[in-house]
Amino acid sequence: MVITTTHIVLGVFIGVTFLGMFTLIGYYFYLGYTRMDSILEAVKNCSLINSYRFIYSWGLGGR
């Protein structure tokens, strides 16, 4: 198999996509762990968020 410029370009694009995906996942986990109180304060009237608020009573909500 001959590696052409097309293979290299596609490989770089795929690599950048996966790197960006894992970087964003890590960033969102960081935000969820360190800023959950301020995030919940911003969405305190959201019915979907309030229906899952019982998880805080289990000690799984961060700090």
Per-residue pLDDT of the chain (63 residues; tens, 9 = 90+): 899 999 999 999 999 999 999 999 999 999 888 888 888 788 878 888 777 777 766 665 554
Please report, for residues 1, 19, 20, the alpha-carbon distance to residue 11 in angstroms, rounded to integers and kept in the order given. Answer: 15, 12, 14
Decide if 36 contacts 60 (C-beta within 8 A): no
What's the predicted TM-score (pTM) here?
Answer: 0.56
